Amino acid sequence: MKKVFCLLLTLCMVLALAACGGGNGGGDSAPADSGSSAPADTGSDAQEPADASGELITVGVINNDPNESGYRTANDAAMRATFTEENGYKATFYNNNDAAQQIATAQQMVQDEVDFLLLSPASTTGWDTVLQDAQAAGTQVILFDRMLEADESMYVAAVVSDMPAEGKTAVDWLAAQGLDEYNIIHIQGHMGSDAQLGRTGALDEKVAAEGNWNYVTQQTADWDEATARTITQSVIDSGKPFNVIYAENNGMARGAVAALDAAGITHGKDGDVIVMGFDSDKWAFEAVLEGSWNYMGLCNPLQADTVDGIIKDLAAGNAPAQKIIYTPEQGFDCDTLTQADVDTYGT
């Protein structure tokens, strides 16, 4: 009797698991079959008005884990919404935060002879072999969201966020606040990622250059809210004075703010501590709007349309005018942000 019950339970769980696989859109399972045979046997040409040739463009999309942050969720959703059969694509998606896994899958996609490889690399290095293989196989590489370290000739286009510029905009804004002394809690993202390097770089430079800019602490929270809270808490416990929190994404800024709230330290507009975050989450915009935070550096997650345009141009034989296209970005602070901005840019 118990055995039967147990078996039932197990079956139920396995079914639940199977259902989940489907619900996730088969993220990393079941890669599409090889590109060469795909257009011939899809047989869905009828429902495909856009492309005159009637052939689907095969693309392999390598992205980070959509659950990593609100930014990534929006980014991944936009990619999946754009690269559909209705738009003339046969797309394979792969999401992982581990660069090694990304590289292995990219290699597989190149071997499957996809027409385009769209990359948002988890780390900036280690991609040389893949890029060379892709070039040899005639696969065109387009970077989105994040850069990697390689010669420009290795990819046809890059639609990226200008991370160093984002960092610089934020640091310039902070400098314009005219504090007598900047005692900064710097909470970094995943070490080695493009976003972390860009946003850290500008601040590091400024702190090294200015006498009245100091780090109270500089730690990585690996994009994790709970870790950011712990780091901030430990600074509060140590009793060291600080007046700026520079968190490299919104989730970590929220974690830091939770620690401030628990200790009764005022923050935001007219508060004792300046709170700065990055990315595009709607709730973070709202926090800035209501003056609980001071600044948010917008990092636009919606590159899918631009990438789509480039691919269509390339398919028509036109090379993109610029190799590196930066998505329009800016910083918002609690004095100038409007509800209209929140509605336009919030994700």
Partner 1 sequence: MMTPVKNPETKLKQPGESLFKRLVRQQLFIPFAALALLVLFNLIADPSFFAVSIKENSLGNPVLSGNIISVLDNASELVILAIGMTLVTASSGGQDISVGATMAIAGSVILRMVCGGQVTADTLQMPLLLAVLIGIVVTALFGAFNGALVAYFKIQPMVATLIMFTAGRSIAAWINNNQLPIMNDISFKYAGTFLPGIPVPTPVFITAFVILLFWLALKFTTLGLYTQSVGINANSSRLNGLDPKLIKLLTYVILGVCVAVAGFIRVSRSGSINYSRIAENIEMDAILAVALGGNALSGGKFNIYGSILGAYVIQFLTTTLYKYEVPSTALPAYKAVVVILLVVLSAPVVREKLSSMKKAPVKAAKEVS
CB of 142 closer than 8 Å to CB of 119: yes
* Identified binder of partner 1 from the candidate list 42, 73, 108, 214, rule CB under 8 A: 73
38/104 with CB nearer partner 1: 104
- Using CB under 8 A as the binding rule, whether residue 346 contacts partner 1 is answered as no
To the nearest 5 percent, what fractions of the chain are helix, strand and coil? 45, 20, 35
How far, in Å, CA of 28 to CA of 16, rounded? 18
Q: What is the token pair recorded at 95? A: 């999401």
Site residues for partner 1, 132-151, by CB under 8 A, read: none
Give me the amino acid identity at 31.
P
Among 127, 223, 246, 278, indicate the residue that binds partner 1 (CB under 8 A): 223
- Please measure the distance between the N-terminal and C-terminal CA atoms of the chain and give it in whole angstroms: 51
Which of 34, 67, 84, 132 is the binder for partner 1 (CB under 8 A)?
67
For residues 186 and 246, the answer to whether their CB atoms sit within 8 Å is yes
Binding segment toward partner 1, per CB under 8 A, in 35-43, 117-125, 249-257, 272-280: 249-257
Given candidates 58, 63, 69, 139, which one binds partner 1 under the rule CB under 8 A?
A: 69
Spatial CB neighbours of 337, under 8 Å, sequence gap ≥ 6: 285, 288, 289
Among 86, 172, 261, 343, binds partner 1 (CB under 8 A): 261
Give, in order, the Cα–Cα distances in Å from 240 to each of 22, 60, 210, 226: 51, 49, 20, 21
Binding-site member from 112, 162, 166, 225 for partner 1 (CB under 8 A): 225
**Side chain identity at 203, as an amino acid letter?**
L
Q: How far is 134 from 148, CA to CA, in rounded Å?
A: 15
Residue 3 touching partner 1 (CB under 8 A): yes
Listed in sequence order, the residues at least 6 apart from 261 whose beta carbon sits closer than 8 Å to its beta carbon are none
Select 62 or 150, whichever has its Cβ closest to partner 1: 62
Nearer to partner 1, 72 or 112 (CB): 72
Q: Residue 161 corresponds to which amino acid? A: S
Among residues 101, 108, 124, 218, the one that binds partner 1 under rule CB under 8 A: 218
Stretch that binds partner 1, among 105-113, 202-210, 260-268, 328-336 (CB under 8 A): 260-268
Contact footprint for partner 1 (CB under 8 A):
2-3, 6-7, 9-10, 13, 16-17, 20, 23-24, 27, 65-70, 73, 77, 97, 188, 191, 217-220, 222-226, 229-231, 233-234, 236-239, 251, 254-255, 258, 260-266, 283
